[in-house]
Amino acid sequence: MYLDTPEKLYEFIQNAKDSPMLAVDTEFIRERSYYPKLCLIQVATETASAIVDPLAIDDLTPLRSLFQDPDIVKIFHAGNQDCAIIYDSIGIVPSPLFDTQYAAAFINAHQRTGLANLVRLYCGTNLDKKDSFTDWLKRPLSAQQIEYALADVAYLPQIYLRMIEELKEMGRLSWLSEEFERMSDEKNYQLNIDQVWHKVRGTQALPPRKLVLIQAMAAWRERVAQEKDFPRRWILSDEQLVEIARREPHSVADLVEIRGVHDKLGERWAHDLIAALKKTQEVPEELWPRHDRGPTNGAGHTMSLELMVALVRLRASEHRVASSMLATRDDLARLIEGQRKDLPILTGWRRDIVGLELLDLLSGRLALHLEDGVLKVSKIGD
């Protein structure tokens, strides 16, 4: 079904509201804009698939009744960006939800988790992915484009039902419930413009005085990008922000001497940016931003990190879960540096599998050793 009128959308919603599940996917383009341009929303129940055309239907809010229905599980594959775009478009995050890519890492750590692989594994069908870079803004869509888009949701209900059974047999359904509750939290999709500096690459070695400049410039760049609907890199790249912070220019003349800056900033933007930099002089030192993590290049830090990685990989292998689902290297680095608050590795099922052992390892209460070439774990004193 192709839903390009409010009446068609309403009819689909009425038919779908009695289904226990709704597969969801989106197609969007954002290469030349700040805001992603929503091109399609694909939805599917066990018995029907449909495309919602946002270019033809101005008001998408009727979809809220499905996306927020507590009795309908919304099924995604790699759904973080889809949830972000839905949140931007209609103001809610679908809930409750289930992500098949995420679930696959908990079922078999060694299987490939792309949608085509899961469709082949669970449905015995080969997906044709040759239209993945199509222009979804072009209208009318071809029959081939429609078929391609619908395939992204048509198989998800079947995959979901199979996965649920496997997760129940493995006793891991509750693990996924914790993860998906976090994924559906609207806080994950709300922008704090004073915190966007954390996403600027190459700032780890900068001192706090330089970071306050990065914070001001990143916020300024974000506002301009939003106002003009430009990609951030069109305003200034991360590398240029870091170089500006290092040089700390005090005038427009100083600013445009930095390579590439003159080509991107007109006179107004250059003056605005210098004004933003000068305002940082009013920020007291105790309010300067700082990276949560300290230096991570010491020999002791490196050795501790490698031991922890080995322990995580061991427990991940034993439990047949992807090690990245247990803990990232960044999580472990934060643990080494004494951070305990809001670390996933110290909550829920992760804490039970390896989190407490990691704390014991760091405190010297746990040892790793090789026995006939196999990694073993023992308590100190055992």
- Residues 250-264: tens digit of each pLDDT: 999 999 999 889 889
**What is the spatial distance between Cα 114 and Cα 143, in angstroms, rounded to a whole number?**
24
Assess whether pLDDT exceeds 70 at residue 218. yes
What is the percent of the chain where pLDDT is above 90?
A: 77
Asked which of 78-92, 129-143, 253-267, 308-322 is least confident by mean pLDDT, the reply is 129-143
Tell me the three state secondary structure of residue 367.
strand
The reported pTM is 0.84
Q: What does the pLDDT average to over 111-118?
A: 86
Average pLDDT of the chain? Answer: 92
Third-level CATH fold of 2-189: Nucleotidyltransferase; domain 5 (3.30.420)
- CB-CB contact of 276 with 265 (8 Å): no
pLDDT at 291: 81
- CB-CB contact of 215 with 283 (8 Å): no
Helix, strand, coil % over all residues of the chain, rounded to 5 = 55, 10, 35
**What is the spatial distance between Cα 224 and Cα 245, in angstroms, rounded to a whole number?**
18
Q: The domain 299-379: what is its CATH number?
A: 1.10.150.80
Q: What is the DSSP letter of 18?
A: T
Third-level CATH fold of 193-287: DNA polymerase; domain 1 (1.10.150)
pLDDT at 302: 86
Assess whether pLDDT exceeds 70 at residue 131. no
pLDDT at 298: 61
Of 255, 233, 232, give the one whose Cα is nearest residue 244.
255
pLDDT at 324: 86
Q: What does the pLDDT average to over 329-353?
A: 89
Of 27, 59, 61, give the one whose Cα is nearest residue 43.
27
Assess whether pLDDT exceeds 80 at residue 292. no
Q: What is the dihedral of CA 104, 108, 113, 117, to 10 degrees?
A: -110
- CB-CB contact of 270 with 252 (8 Å): yes
pLDDT at 341: 82
Asked which of 216-230, 289-303, 360-374 is least confident by mean pLDDT, the reply is 289-303
- The number of beta carbons lying within 10 Å of the beta carbon of residue 315 is 20
Domain boundaries, the chain: 2-189, 193-287, 299-379
Strands 73-76 and 21-29: parallel
Identify the band that residue 51 occupies on the pLDDT scale cut at 50, 70 and 90.
very high
- CB-CB contact of 151 with 49 (8 Å): no
Assess whether pLDDT exceeds 80 at residue 244. yes
Assess whether pLDDT exceeds 70 at residue 354. yes
With helix as H, strand as E and coil as C, how does 295-361 read?
A: CCCCHHHHHHHHHHHHHHHHHHHHCCCCHHHHCCHHHHHHHHCCCCCCCHHHCHHHHHHHHHHHHHH
Q: Which two tokens stand for residue 185?
A: 């939290």
pLDDT at 293: 55
Distance of CA 225 to the CA centre of its chain: 21
Q: What does the pLDDT average to over 205-228?
A: 96
Q: Establish whether the linkage from the previous residue to 140 is cis, with ω within 30° of 0.
A: yes
pLDDT at 266: 85
User: Which residue bears the tokens 């069109």?
Assistant: 234
Choose between 322 and 255: higher pLDDT.
Answer: 255
Is the fold of 193-287 the same as that of 299-379?
yes
- Distance between terminal CA atoms of the chain? 65
Q: What does the pLDDT average to over 34-58?
A: 96
**What is the spatial distance between Cα 380 and Cα 382, in angstroms, rounded to a whole number?**
6
Q: What does the pLDDT average to over 134-160?
A: 93
Q: What does the pLDDT average to over 131-155?
A: 89
Q: What does the pLDDT average to over 229-256?
A: 95
Residue 182 phi/psi, 5-degree rounding, is -65, -40
Q: Which two tokens stand for residue 135?
A: 């222009």
Assess whether pLDDT exceeds 70 at residue 382. no
- Burial of residue 72, with CB atoms counted within 10 A of its CB: 0-12 exposed, 13-18 middle, 19 or more buried: buried
Tell me the three state secondary structure of residue 96.
coil
pLDDT at 322: 86
pLDDT at 377: 93
